[in-house]
Chain A
Protein backbone atom coordinates (compact mmCIF):
# COMPACT_ATOMS: atom_id res chain seq x y z
CA UNK A 1 0.00 0.00 0.00
CA UNK A 2 2.82 2.31 0.99
CA UNK A 3 4.62 1.50 -2.27
CA UNK A 4 1.46 2.22 -4.23
CA UNK A 5 1.22 5.67 -2.70
CA UNK A 6 4.81 6.39 -3.75
CA UNK A 7 4.19 5.24 -7.32
CA UNK A 8 3.04 8.61 -8.78
CA UNK A 9 6.15 10.25 -7.34
CA UNK A 10 8.42 7.57 -8.79
CA UNK A 11 6.75 7.90 -12.21
CA UNK A 12 7.15 11.68 -12.09
CA UNK A 13 10.83 11.35 -11.21
CA UNK A 14 11.38 8.87 -14.03
CA UNK A 15 9.58 11.19 -16.46
CA UNK A 16 11.78 14.13 -15.42
CA UNK A 17 14.97 12.12 -16.00
CA UNK A 18 13.77 10.35 -19.11
CA UNK A 19 12.38 13.50 -20.76
CA UNK A 20 15.60 15.06 -22.09
CA UNK A 21 17.03 11.63 -22.88
CA UNK A 22 14.06 10.80 -25.08
CA UNK A 23 14.59 13.98 -27.12
CA UNK A 24 18.21 13.05 -27.85
CA UNK A 25 19.87 10.03 -29.41
CA UNK A 26 22.50 7.88 -27.75
CA UNK A 27 26.09 9.07 -27.71
CA UNK A 28 27.58 7.87 -31.01
CA UNK A 29 30.71 5.76 -31.04
CA UNK A 30 33.98 7.00 -32.51
CA UNK A 31 33.42 4.67 -35.48
CA UNK A 32 29.99 6.14 -36.13
CA UNK A 33 31.42 9.66 -36.08
CA UNK A 34 34.35 8.65 -38.28
CA UNK A 35 32.05 6.97 -40.79
CA UNK A 36 30.72 10.47 -41.52
CA UNK A 37 34.00 12.29 -40.90
CA UNK A 38 35.82 10.29 -43.57
CA UNK A 39 33.59 11.94 -46.18
CA UNK A 40 34.51 15.44 -45.05
CA UNK A 41 37.64 17.52 -45.47
CA UNK A 42 38.53 20.42 -43.21
CA UNK A 43 39.93 23.36 -45.27
CA UNK A 44 42.66 23.87 -42.68
CA UNK A 45 44.23 20.47 -43.36
CA UNK A 46 44.59 20.07 -47.10
CA UNK A 47 44.02 16.57 -48.48
CA UNK A 48 43.52 14.96 -45.06
CA UNK A 49 40.08 13.50 -44.44
CA UNK A 50 38.44 14.61 -41.22
CA UNK A 51 38.61 11.15 -39.62
CA UNK A 52 42.41 11.09 -40.01
CA UNK A 53 43.14 14.73 -39.21
CA UNK A 54 44.80 15.50 -35.90
CA UNK A 55 44.37 19.26 -35.59
CA UNK A 56 42.25 21.02 -32.98
CA UNK A 57 39.94 22.31 -35.72
CA UNK A 58 39.24 18.77 -36.93
CA UNK A 59 38.67 17.54 -33.38
CA UNK A 60 36.05 20.27 -32.99
CA UNK A 61 34.41 19.24 -36.25
CA UNK A 62 34.25 15.60 -35.15
CA UNK A 63 32.69 16.73 -31.88
CA UNK A 64 30.21 18.75 -33.92
CA UNK A 65 29.28 15.60 -35.87
CA UNK A 66 28.80 13.75 -32.59
CA UNK A 67 26.60 16.58 -31.24
CA UNK A 68 24.49 16.57 -34.40
CA UNK A 69 24.08 12.78 -34.24
CA UNK A 70 22.98 13.05 -30.62
CA UNK A 71 20.51 15.75 -31.66
CA UNK A 72 19.00 13.23 -34.08
CA UNK A 73 20.37 14.53 -37.41
CA UNK A 74 20.67 12.06 -40.27
CA UNK A 75 23.94 11.56 -42.16
CA UNK A 76 22.70 13.66 -45.08
CA UNK A 77 21.53 16.43 -42.75
CA UNK A 78 25.00 16.54 -41.23
CA UNK A 79 26.63 16.88 -44.67
CA UNK A 80 24.14 19.63 -45.51
CA UNK A 81 24.96 21.42 -42.27
CA UNK A 82 28.70 21.32 -42.98
CA UNK A 83 28.20 22.56 -46.54
CA UNK A 84 26.06 25.43 -45.29
CA UNK A 85 28.60 26.35 -42.64
CA UNK A 86 31.85 25.87 -44.52
CA UNK A 87 31.02 25.57 -48.20
CA UNK A 88 30.80 22.65 -50.65
CA UNK A 89 34.60 22.26 -50.62
CA UNK A 90 34.35 20.26 -47.40
CA UNK A 91 32.73 17.31 -49.14
CA UNK A 92 35.00 14.46 -50.25
CA UNK A 93 32.70 13.90 -53.23
CA UNK A 94 31.75 17.17 -54.91
CA UNK A 95 28.00 17.48 -55.46
CA UNK A 96 27.03 17.17 -59.13
CA UNK A 97 26.17 20.53 -60.64
CA UNK A 98 27.81 23.39 -62.53
CA UNK A 99 31.44 22.77 -63.40
CA UNK A 100 31.45 19.79 -61.02
CA UNK A 101 29.72 17.83 -63.78
CA UNK A 102 33.05 17.78 -65.58
CA UNK A 103 34.49 15.60 -62.81
CA UNK A 104 31.79 13.03 -63.41
CA UNK A 105 31.51 13.24 -67.18
CA UNK A 106 35.07 13.83 -68.31
CA UNK A 107 36.79 10.61 -67.17
CA UNK A 108 34.21 8.24 -68.75
CA UNK A 109 34.14 10.45 -71.86
CA UNK A 110 37.94 10.26 -72.17
CA UNK A 111 37.88 6.48 -71.68
CA UNK A 112 35.16 6.09 -74.32
CA UNK A 113 37.00 8.38 -76.72
CA UNK A 114 40.23 6.43 -76.20
CA UNK A 115 38.44 3.13 -76.76
CA UNK A 116 36.85 4.49 -79.95
CA UNK A 117 40.25 5.66 -81.22
CA UNK A 118 41.86 2.29 -80.50
CA UNK A 119 38.98 0.45 -82.17
CA UNK A 120 39.17 2.71 -85.21
CA UNK A 121 42.93 2.32 -85.52
CA UNK A 122 42.70 -1.46 -85.22
CA UNK A 123 39.96 -1.57 -87.86
CA UNK A 124 42.11 0.56 -90.18
CA UNK A 125 45.17 -1.68 -89.69
CA UNK A 126 43.12 -4.80 -90.43
CA UNK A 127 41.75 -3.30 -93.63
CA UNK A 128 45.19 -2.28 -94.77
CA UNK A 129 46.51 -4.81 -97.33
CA UNK A 130 50.16 -5.72 -97.15
CA UNK A 131 51.80 -3.61 -99.75
CA UNK A 132 54.51 -5.05 -101.92
CA UNK A 133 57.09 -2.44 -102.44
CA UNK A 134 57.46 -1.81 -106.13
CA UNK A 135 61.01 -1.66 -107.22
CA UNK A 136 61.89 1.71 -108.56
CA UNK A 137 63.75 2.25 -111.76
CA UNK A 138 66.63 3.82 -109.88
CA UNK A 139 66.95 0.81 -107.59
CA UNK A 140 66.92 -1.52 -110.60
CA UNK A 141 69.63 0.54 -112.19
CA UNK A 142 71.86 0.40 -109.13
CA UNK A 143 71.18 -3.32 -108.57
CA UNK A 144 72.20 -4.01 -112.13
CA UNK A 145 75.36 -1.92 -111.69
CA UNK A 146 76.28 -3.85 -108.53
CA UNK A 147 75.61 -7.20 -110.19
CA UNK A 148 77.67 -6.23 -113.19
CA UNK A 149 80.50 -5.10 -110.94
CA UNK A 150 80.39 -8.38 -109.02
CA UNK A 151 80.41 -10.40 -112.26
CA UNK A 152 83.39 -8.44 -113.51
CA UNK A 153 85.34 -9.16 -110.32
CA UNK A 154 84.69 -12.94 -110.45
Chain B
Protein backbone atom coordinates (compact mmCIF):
# COMPACT_ATOMS: atom_id res chain seq x y z
CA UNK B 1 0.00 0.00 0.00
CA UNK B 2 1.22 3.47 -0.85
CA UNK B 3 2.31 5.73 1.96
CA UNK B 4 0.76 8.75 0.28
CA UNK B 5 -1.91 8.83 -2.38
CA UNK B 6 -2.85 12.14 -3.87
CA UNK B 7 -6.05 11.98 -5.87
CA UNK B 8 -7.19 14.72 -8.21
CA UNK B 9 -5.81 17.48 -6.04
CA UNK B 10 -6.89 21.00 -6.87
CA UNK B 11 -5.42 24.02 -5.09
CA UNK B 12 -6.45 27.58 -5.83
CA UNK B 13 -4.79 30.88 -5.09
CA UNK B 14 -6.77 34.07 -4.86
CA UNK B 15 -5.06 36.75 -6.95
CA UNK B 16 -6.08 40.32 -7.80
CA UNK B 17 -7.02 39.25 -11.32
CA UNK B 18 -8.95 36.11 -10.38
CA UNK B 19 -8.57 32.60 -9.07
CA UNK B 20 -5.37 30.91 -10.17
CA UNK B 21 -5.63 27.13 -10.35
CA UNK B 22 -2.06 26.43 -9.33
CA UNK B 23 -2.71 22.71 -8.91
CA UNK B 24 -5.39 21.43 -11.26
CA UNK B 25 -6.15 17.74 -10.95
CA UNK B 26 -2.89 16.21 -9.77
CA UNK B 27 -2.68 12.54 -8.76
CA UNK B 28 0.33 10.51 -7.71
CA UNK B 29 1.43 7.94 -5.15
CA UNK B 30 4.53 7.79 -3.00
CA UNK B 31 5.61 4.36 -1.80
CA UNK B 32 7.27 3.62 1.54
CA UNK B 33 11.01 4.24 1.36
CA UNK B 34 10.79 5.95 -1.98
CA UNK B 35 12.33 9.26 -3.09
CA UNK B 36 9.85 10.88 -5.44
CA UNK B 37 10.94 13.94 -7.41
CA UNK B 38 8.63 16.62 -8.77
CA UNK B 39 10.25 18.86 -11.37
CA UNK B 40 9.09 21.82 -13.35
CA UNK B 41 9.83 25.45 -13.97
CA UNK B 42 8.79 28.40 -11.85
CA UNK B 43 5.04 28.77 -11.51
CA UNK B 44 4.24 25.22 -12.63
CA UNK B 45 2.61 24.36 -9.31
CA UNK B 46 5.20 21.95 -7.93
CA UNK B 47 5.65 23.94 -4.77
CA UNK B 48 1.88 24.51 -4.37
CA UNK B 49 1.34 20.77 -4.72
CA UNK B 50 3.70 19.85 -1.92
CA UNK B 51 2.61 22.70 0.31
CA UNK B 52 -0.98 21.49 -0.06
CA UNK B 53 -0.07 18.19 1.59
CA UNK B 54 0.48 19.80 4.99
CA UNK B 55 -1.42 22.98 4.07
CA UNK B 56 1.67 25.12 4.61
CA UNK B 57 0.79 28.13 2.52
CA UNK B 58 2.63 30.65 4.65
CA UNK B 59 -0.30 33.06 4.81
CA UNK B 60 -0.87 33.08 1.03
CA UNK B 61 -4.56 33.23 0.04
CA UNK B 62 -4.65 29.58 -0.96
CA UNK B 63 -7.15 26.81 -0.43
CA UNK B 64 -7.55 23.18 -1.36
CA UNK B 65 -10.51 23.19 -3.70
CA UNK B 66 -10.85 19.47 -4.20
CA UNK B 67 -9.29 16.05 -4.17
CA UNK B 68 -7.85 13.76 -1.54
CA UNK B 69 -4.50 13.54 0.20
CA UNK B 70 -4.48 10.07 1.72
CA UNK B 71 -1.66 9.42 4.15
CA UNK B 72 -1.49 5.80 5.26
CA UNK B 73 -2.70 5.49 8.83
CA UNK B 74 -3.65 9.13 9.16
CA UNK B 75 -6.52 9.48 6.72
CA UNK B 76 -7.39 12.22 4.27
CA UNK B 77 -5.29 15.27 5.12
CA UNK B 78 -7.35 17.42 2.77
CA UNK B 79 -10.45 16.76 4.88
CA UNK B 80 -8.81 17.43 8.25
CA UNK B 81 -9.37 20.45 10.40
CA UNK B 82 -6.39 22.70 11.03
CA UNK B 83 -6.17 21.23 14.53
CA UNK B 84 -6.05 17.65 13.34
CA UNK B 85 -3.50 18.53 10.72
CA UNK B 86 -1.24 20.14 13.32
CA UNK B 87 -0.86 16.68 14.89
CA UNK B 88 0.21 15.20 11.58
CA UNK B 89 2.84 17.86 10.90
CA UNK B 90 6.22 16.84 12.19
CA UNK B 91 4.98 13.49 13.52
CA UNK B 92 3.86 11.78 10.32
CA UNK B 93 5.20 14.16 7.73
CA UNK B 94 7.71 16.99 7.93
CA UNK B 95 8.56 19.82 5.59
CA UNK B 96 11.98 21.20 4.60
CA UNK B 97 11.99 24.65 3.06
CA UNK B 98 14.37 26.04 0.47
CA UNK B 99 15.75 28.75 2.69
CA UNK B 100 16.77 27.33 6.05
CA UNK B 101 17.09 30.79 7.55
CA UNK B 102 13.37 31.44 7.24
CA UNK B 103 12.59 28.07 8.77
CA UNK B 104 14.65 28.76 11.87
CA UNK B 105 13.93 31.20 14.67
CA UNK B 106 16.78 33.73 14.58
CA UNK B 107 16.51 34.54 18.29
CA UNK B 108 16.60 30.98 19.62
CA UNK B 109 19.57 28.70 20.05
CA UNK B 110 19.69 25.68 17.74
CA UNK B 111 19.45 23.16 20.57
CA UNK B 112 16.29 24.70 21.99
CA UNK B 113 14.62 24.86 18.61
CA UNK B 114 15.16 21.16 17.98
CA UNK B 115 14.12 20.32 21.54
CA UNK B 116 10.90 22.27 21.08
CA UNK B 117 9.89 20.11 18.15
CA UNK B 118 10.41 17.03 20.31
CA UNK B 119 8.60 18.44 23.35
CA UNK B 120 5.60 19.53 21.31
CA UNK B 121 4.82 15.93 20.41
CA UNK B 122 6.07 13.82 23.29
CA UNK B 123 6.70 13.98 26.98
CA UNK B 124 10.34 14.37 27.88
CA UNK B 125 12.40 16.34 30.33
CA UNK B 126 14.40 19.30 29.04
CA UNK B 127 17.60 17.33 29.54
CA UNK B 128 16.25 14.38 27.58
CA UNK B 129 15.10 16.63 24.77
CA UNK B 130 18.52 18.28 24.65
CA UNK B 131 20.22 14.90 24.54
CA UNK B 132 17.88 13.89 21.70
CA UNK B 133 18.70 17.14 19.87
CA UNK B 134 22.40 16.38 20.19
CA UNK B 135 21.90 12.93 18.75
CA UNK B 136 19.91 14.38 15.84
CA UNK B 137 22.73 16.79 15.04
CA UNK B 138 25.14 13.86 15.08
CA UNK B 139 22.82 11.93 12.75
CA UNK B 140 22.99 14.67 10.16
CA UNK B 141 26.79 14.87 10.50
CA UNK B 142 27.00 18.31 12.03
CA UNK B 143 30.59 18.87 13.11
CA UNK B 144 31.16 19.61 16.81
CA UNK B 145 27.45 19.13 17.63
CA UNK B 146 27.85 19.97 21.35
CA UNK B 147 29.02 23.44 20.44
CA UNK B 148 26.29 23.97 17.81
CA UNK B 149 23.52 23.33 20.32
CA UNK B 150 24.24 26.73 21.82
CA UNK B 151 24.74 28.53 18.53
CA UNK B 152 22.23 30.84 16.90
CA UNK B 153 21.21 30.23 13.28
CA UNK B 154 23.16 33.23 11.95
CA UNK B 155 26.36 31.76 13.34
CA UNK B 156 26.10 28.76 11.03
CA UNK B 157 26.93 28.43 7.33
CA UNK B 158 24.17 27.78 4.82
CA UNK B 159 24.97 24.08 4.62
CA UNK B 160 25.00 23.67 8.40
CA UNK B 161 21.67 25.50 8.68
CA UNK B 162 20.10 23.16 6.18
CA UNK B 163 21.46 20.21 8.17
CA UNK B 164 19.84 21.65 11.29
CA UNK B 165 16.53 22.01 9.44
CA UNK B 166 16.82 18.40 8.30
CA UNK B 167 17.60 17.35 11.88
CA UNK B 168 14.41 19.10 13.00
CA UNK B 169 12.42 17.41 10.25
CA UNK B 170 13.80 14.04 11.37
CA UNK B 171 13.18 14.73 15.07
CA UNK B 172 9.95 12.75 15.31
CA UNK B 173 10.94 10.11 12.79
CA UNK B 174 8.23 11.01 10.29
CA UNK B 175 7.48 8.50 7.57
CA UNK B 176 7.39 11.24 4.96
CA UNK B 177 9.66 14.21 4.37
CA UNK B 178 8.64 16.86 1.90
CA UNK B 179 11.62 18.89 0.74
CA UNK B 180 10.94 21.98 -1.35
CA UNK B 181 14.10 22.92 -3.29
CA UNK B 182 16.24 21.99 -0.26
CA UNK B 183 19.56 22.57 -2.01
CA UNK B 184 18.77 25.41 -4.40
CA UNK B 185 20.32 28.06 -2.15
CA UNK B 186 23.46 25.99 -1.54
CA UNK B 187 26.75 25.67 -3.34
CA UNK B 188 27.15 22.61 -5.50
CA UNK B 189 29.67 20.82 -3.28
CA UNK B 190 27.39 21.37 -0.27
CA UNK B 191 24.34 20.37 -2.30
CA UNK B 192 26.05 17.10 -3.00
CA UNK B 193 26.56 16.51 0.73
CA UNK B 194 22.94 17.35 1.59
CA UNK B 195 21.54 15.09 -1.12
CA UNK B 196 23.72 12.24 0.13
CA UNK B 197 22.43 12.89 3.63
CA UNK B 198 18.78 12.69 2.54
CA UNK B 199 19.47 9.49 0.68
CA UNK B 200 21.27 8.03 3.68
CA UNK B 201 18.24 8.73 5.92
CA UNK B 202 16.00 7.00 3.44
CA UNK B 203 18.35 4.03 3.27
CA UNK B 204 18.69 3.66 7.04
CA UNK B 205 15.18 4.55 8.24
CA UNK B 206 13.06 3.87 5.19
CA UNK B 207 11.73 7.41 5.21
CA UNK B 208 9.86 8.43 2.06
CA UNK B 209 10.91 11.72 0.55
CA UNK B 210 9.15 14.02 -1.88
CA UNK B 211 11.79 16.23 -3.44
CA UNK B 212 10.68 19.32 -5.32
CA UNK B 213 13.29 20.82 -7.61
CA UNK B 214 13.79 22.69 -10.86
CA UNK B 215 17.04 20.80 -11.41
CA UNK B 216 16.76 17.64 -13.47
CA UNK B 217 20.29 16.74 -12.44
CA UNK B 218 19.28 16.58 -8.78
CA UNK B 219 16.38 14.28 -9.64
CA UNK B 220 18.69 12.10 -11.67
CA UNK B 221 21.03 11.86 -8.75
CA UNK B 222 18.79 10.73 -5.92
CA UNK B 223 15.19 10.08 -6.95
CA UNK B 224 13.60 6.71 -7.66
CA UNK B 225 10.54 7.96 -9.47
CA UNK B 226 9.60 11.39 -10.72
CA UNK B 227 6.83 13.53 -12.11
CA UNK B 228 7.18 16.44 -14.49
CA UNK B 229 4.74 19.27 -13.90
CA UNK B 230 3.57 21.98 -16.27
CA UNK B 231 0.94 24.67 -15.69
CA UNK B 232 -0.71 22.94 -12.74
CA UNK B 233 -0.79 19.42 -14.23
CA UNK B 234 1.47 16.41 -14.27
CA UNK B 235 2.57 15.74 -17.83
CA UNK B 236 4.82 12.74 -17.31
CA UNK B 237 5.67 10.32 -14.54
CA UNK B 238 7.69 7.16 -14.18
CA UNK B 239 10.96 5.75 -12.95
CA UNK B 240 13.69 8.37 -13.15
CA UNK B 241 15.92 6.57 -15.63
CA UNK B 242 12.97 5.88 -17.92
CA UNK B 243 11.70 9.46 -17.87
CA UNK B 244 15.12 11.06 -18.27
CA UNK B 245 16.58 8.55 -20.71
CA UNK B 246 13.44 8.01 -22.79
CA UNK B 247 11.16 10.99 -22.20
CA UNK B 248 7.84 10.64 -23.97
CA UNK B 249 6.05 13.95 -23.36
CA UNK B 250 7.13 16.82 -25.66
CA UNK B 251 7.56 19.13 -22.66
CA UNK B 252 9.96 16.78 -20.89
CA UNK B 253 11.87 16.41 -24.12
CA UNK B 254 12.02 20.16 -24.64
CA UNK B 255 13.17 20.72 -21.07
CA UNK B 256 16.01 18.24 -21.48
CA UNK B 257 16.96 19.65 -24.87
CA UNK B 258 17.26 23.16 -23.40
CA UNK B 259 19.98 22.08 -20.97
CA UNK B 260 23.55 22.92 -21.78
CA UNK B 261 25.62 19.79 -21.69
CA UNK B 262 23.22 17.91 -23.93
CA UNK B 263 24.70 19.29 -27.15
CA UNK B 264 28.19 20.11 -28.37
CA UNK B 265 29.59 23.61 -28.02
CA UNK B 266 29.27 24.21 -31.74
CA UNK B 267 25.48 23.78 -31.69
CA UNK B 268 22.96 26.28 -30.36
CA UNK B 269 20.81 25.30 -27.39
CA UNK B 270 17.13 24.75 -27.99
CA UNK B 271 15.06 27.03 -25.78
CA UNK B 272 11.32 26.55 -25.39
CA UNK B 273 9.71 29.48 -27.15
CA UNK B 274 6.83 31.35 -25.57
CA UNK B 275 5.75 31.37 -21.95
CA UNK B 276 3.60 29.13 -19.73
CA UNK B 277 -0.14 29.88 -19.91
CA UNK B 278 -2.20 31.82 -17.41
CA UNK B 279 -3.41 29.65 -14.55
CA UNK B 280 -6.46 31.90 -14.17
CA UNK B 281 -7.81 31.17 -17.63
CA UNK B 282 -5.79 28.28 -19.04
CA UNK B 283 -6.24 27.44 -22.72
CA UNK B 284 -8.38 24.43 -23.68
CA UNK B 285 -6.73 21.10 -24.37
CA UNK B 286 -3.13 20.36 -23.56
CA UNK B 287 -1.57 23.29 -21.74
CA UNK B 288 1.76 22.86 -23.41
CA UNK B 289 0.20 22.79 -26.91
CA UNK B 290 0.66 26.54 -27.58
CA UNK B 291 4.44 26.10 -27.18
CA UNK B 292 4.70 22.58 -28.55
CA UNK B 293 6.42 22.23 -31.90
CA UNK B 294 4.41 19.10 -32.67
CA UNK B 295 0.95 20.26 -31.65
CA UNK B 296 -1.99 19.43 -33.91
CA UNK B 297 -5.43 21.06 -33.98
CA UNK B 298 -6.89 18.36 -31.72
CA UNK B 299 -4.28 19.11 -29.06
CA UNK B 300 -6.00 22.40 -28.25
CA UNK B 301 -9.50 21.03 -27.75
CA UNK B 302 -11.44 19.75 -24.76
CA UNK B 303 -10.07 18.94 -21.33
CA UNK B 304 -6.37 18.60 -20.71
CA UNK B 305 -5.40 14.99 -21.47
CA UNK B 306 -4.86 12.68 -18.46
CA UNK B 307 -1.73 10.68 -17.76
CA UNK B 308 -1.86 7.40 -19.66
CA UNK B 309 0.53 4.60 -20.51
CA UNK B 310 1.97 4.47 -23.99
CA UNK B 311 2.20 1.21 -25.94
CA UNK B 312 5.56 -0.37 -25.20
CA UNK B 313 6.38 1.96 -22.32
CA UNK B 314 7.79 0.59 -19.09
CA UNK B 315 5.22 -0.15 -16.36
CA UNK B 316 4.31 3.02 -14.49
CA UNK B 317 5.76 5.28 -17.18
CA UNK B 318 2.84 7.54 -18.12
CA UNK B 319 2.48 10.75 -20.04
CA UNK B 320 -0.27 13.19 -20.91
CA UNK B 321 0.28 13.64 -24.64
CA UNK B 322 -2.42 12.48 -27.05
CA UNK B 323 -0.09 12.22 -30.01
CA UNK B 324 0.46 8.60 -30.93
CA UNK B 325 4.11 8.55 -31.54
CA UNK B 326 6.59 11.17 -30.56
CA UNK B 327 8.93 10.09 -33.25
CA UNK B 328 11.74 12.65 -33.29
CA UNK B 329 14.02 10.85 -30.90
CA UNK B 330 15.53 13.10 -28.24
CA UNK B 331 17.87 10.75 -26.51
- Tell me if chain B binds chain A: no
